[in-house]
Amino acid sequence: MSLSRRSFLFGSLALAGCATAPGSPTGPLKPVTLDQAFVGRAVGAGVFRVDLTGSERRFDARLNGTLRGDRLTVVEDFFYDDGEQNRLTWVFDRAGPGRWIGRREDTVGVAEVVETGTEIRLSYVADFQSGDDVTRLGFEDVIYFAQDGRVINDAIVTRVGIPVGRVRFEMKRI
């Protein structure tokens, strides 16, 4: 077998083993809905990890969610460890039992939300800006309540369908 063919085979096998969505959390979990997780004020901290390099970008965030009828608006203020700050606002509309659709300033198309009982699945594509660069990334999030009441958001980040990073964000009500 030639070197390039072997490299292709092993590279394909390695990519096949990469998750494109976070696994379900383990342990006894409390039921959660999108509005239960995000209505009100909260603060949290998170980290974005790049799988290939192991580099990290840490951030803190303040969130404020309001529900009016079937529309949930969540204002997110981000404070990155490199000094960058930004504000993004999610607007989610209930699309049926256990389903929402959402938009944010940086999303491409709509985000899809499915509530499964003990977790929330959120899928979207966003144009992520860092400095002067913009990169289109896919996000597959799982959101759930920890036993102590914190809201946990774990995400797999993809670029052109290939997993490139992970995000973990933990928040608590204030």
Instruction: Kindly state the helix (H) or strand (E) to which residue 142 belongs, with its residue range.
Output: strand 133-145
Q: Is pLDDT at 8 greater than 60 in this prediction? A: no
Q: Is pLDDT at 12 greater than 50 in this prediction? A: no
147-160 per-position pLDDT tens digit: 999 999 999 999 99
Q: Is pLDDT at 24 greater than 80 in this prediction? A: no
CB atoms within 10 A of CB 117: 11
Cα first-last separation, the chain: 60
Q: Over the range 9-41, which residues count as b (16 or more CB within 10 Å of their CB) and which as e?
A: eeeeeeeeeeeebbeeeeeebeebebbebbbee
Find the mean pLDDT for residues 126-151.
92
CB atoms within 10 A of CB 87: 10
The proportion of the chain whose per-residue pLDDT surpasses 90, expressed as a percent, equals 78
Domains of the chain: 3-173 (2.40.128.20)
**What is the reported pTM?**
0.85
Q: Which pLDDT belongs to residue 130?
A: 74
